[in-house]
Structure 1
Amino acid sequence: MPLYTSTSHTHTNTKTETMAVNNHHQPPLFTLILTMLASLIALTTQTNALNCASSQKFTNNNLYTHCTDLHTLNSALHYTYTNKTSSLQVAFIAPPVHPQGWIAWAINPTHARMAGSQAFIAFHDENNATMVVKTYNISSYSGVTEGDIAFDVKDMKSEYSDGMMRIYVTVKLPETMKEVNHVWQVGGEVVKGVPVRHAFTAENLKATAKLNFLSADNVGSPVVAPSPSASDAYRNNVMCVFLVVVILGILMS
């Protein structure tokens, strides 16, 4: 009896030790979940990094040679400069402060600021039925008045979807103008068809830059305007990762 008891005890210990060794080599559930979450974060980061080139959707189906994620106001600029005709084709995208607000993109021929700029401002019309884009010669910060600007323009259009407003326009520039100051802004209110003055935060005050059409940085392949399926594919990828995490949790519970 003592021998049997001793043998059984030894066998049990051996089995317990074996299970402990096996469990030691099995990754904990939270480790697997963290791994999957890291993959999700990497996927999200990659998509955001390609935001300018791949996530924007244009209903006009245009191709733009260049694109830049602007450094303020969560905005982006797609553009093509045609040297032969001195024309600048633009798609400016930004989220307004409020859905009933406005966005603006402008060229200032002389200074890197909004005052003195030739602006395009987009917002919903007074009936909130459609989007409009109008031209403004911004003479001061006291207010804006719709009117003609210093450049010939065509193909003006604006739209709103998914919390983003978009301005499309083609501007005819002087042949000697190979670099421009451009300015952009967003606002939260339009009263009786007139955009109300924007905030003066650091983000707003820094919303200016230069576009040099002869710069080496402006040499590149055309960026294809993606279809809505690009964002749909991303959402599907996120959902797949989420489902994998859930299934792993169920299997290992």
Structure 2
Amino acid sequence: MVDSLRPVLFITLFVPLFISISAQTCRTHVFPSNNQVSTDFTSCNDLPVLNSFIHWKYDPATRRVHIAYRHTNIDSTRWIAWAINPTAKGMEGSQALVAYQKDGQMTAYTSPIPKYGTSLAEGKLSFDVPNLTASFQNREMTIFATIQLENSTVVNQVWQEGPLSNGVPTVHSMAPANKQSVGSLDFLSGQSSGGGLVDSRTKRKNVHGVLNAVAWGILMPVGAIAARYLRVFNSMDPAWFYVHIATQTSAYIIGVAGWATGLKLGSESQGIQHNTHRNIGIALFVLATLQ
């Protein structure tokens, strides 16, 4: 009887321990002795999406922070990036550290991102980065860097990954995880947030959707219904005509605003095309204009 209970006792005691150990990620990670920055990182955070982790050590005297951004379970055919946005929450305007493998060797460089659809071209950032290297081993890509903070220790952070094409970084996926890879981080206290902040472009996309839904989905049909069904009632003459004109005109004005917002979003998304969505929008705009 005792022997038969031993496996049950083992599972009861040790499986929760194994699960707990496997759940501990950044705090249990040990950097190899040959890591490219000889820094003992004192703090770390598990980023909520994209299998990513940020380690750092902040020096208050110099206002420098040594960071290691790790992205696990990634292939050598992809690029990674970690960025600070000094002015807003989100990708647009962020100052990025980029790394990928080229010709069997890791390359790391800085890349300012003025707008969406960037090609991650190399360029100088708005703050100093005295040291920058990268490593790749065991399907784990890491960026090591030293960053000179200018004012606050609280920063808006962005992290991302995407494919390479002919050895050059290309546009990342628009999957939910890629859209949620933004947040804030306090290098002094270690407090962080992320995984769902709404940036200005997301707000414009929401505005674009609401404007077009109201214009083409509500006001335009109401105007057509008024002209078709209210005119048969003598008591509604000429009120039906004014209702028809008011709703159709409002629908067209709001629809033009939604259409213009869509054009702006499209110009900011180089390399990303939604052909069906675009064709429907053009057709609606042309038909409404002709009407």
| 2:101 equivalent to 1:124 | yes
Deviation string for 1:199-222 (max 9, x for gaps)?
11111111111112343759xxxx
Mapped to 1, the partners of 2:183 and 2:165 lie a distance apart of 29
Report matched runs for 1:60-209 at 5 Å. 60-95=37-72, 97-125=74-102, 127=103, 129-144=104-119, 145-174=121-150, 176-187=151-162, 189-209=163-183
* Number of aligned residue pairs: 188
Contact between 1:69 and 1:76, CA under 8 Å: does it hold in 2? yes
Q: Deviations over 1:6-35 (max 9, x none)?
A: xxxxxxxxxxxxxxxxxxx3453xx54444
TM-score by length of 2: 0.59
2:79, 2:169 within 8 Å by CA — same for their partners in 1? Answer: yes
Cα separation, 2, equivalents of 1:114 and 1:43: 39
State the alpha-carbon separation in 1 of the partners of residues 116 and 190 from structure 2. Answer: 35
AA aligned to 2:170 is V
Instruction: Show structure 2 runs of 5+ residues with no match.
Output: 193-291
CA distance in 2, matches of 1:62, 1:38: 39
Partner of 1:211: 185
- 1:135-178 CA deviation, whole Å, 9 max, x = no partner? 1111122122111111111221101111110000001121x222
CA RMSD of the aligned region, Å? 2.2
Alignment CA distance shift 1:26-1:179 (3 Å):
closer
> Relative contact order, CA 8 A, sep 6+: which one is greater?
1
Instruction: Specify the code of the residue in structure 1 equivalent to 2:109.
Output: K
Distance 1:166 1:121, change over 3 A: same
Length-normalised TM-score, structure 1: 0.67
SS of corresponding position for 2:10: helix
CA gap of 1:193–1:140, structure 2 versus 1, over 3 A, is farther
Q: Letter of the aligned partner of 1:163 in structure 2?
A: R
Shift of 1:61: 4.1
| Alpha-carbon distance in 2 for matches of 1:168, 1:215 | 21
- 1:43 and 1:143 map into 2 onto residues whose CA distance is 45
Once residues 123 and 190 of structure 2 are traced to their aligned partners in structure 1, the CA distance between those partners, rounded to angstroms, is 35
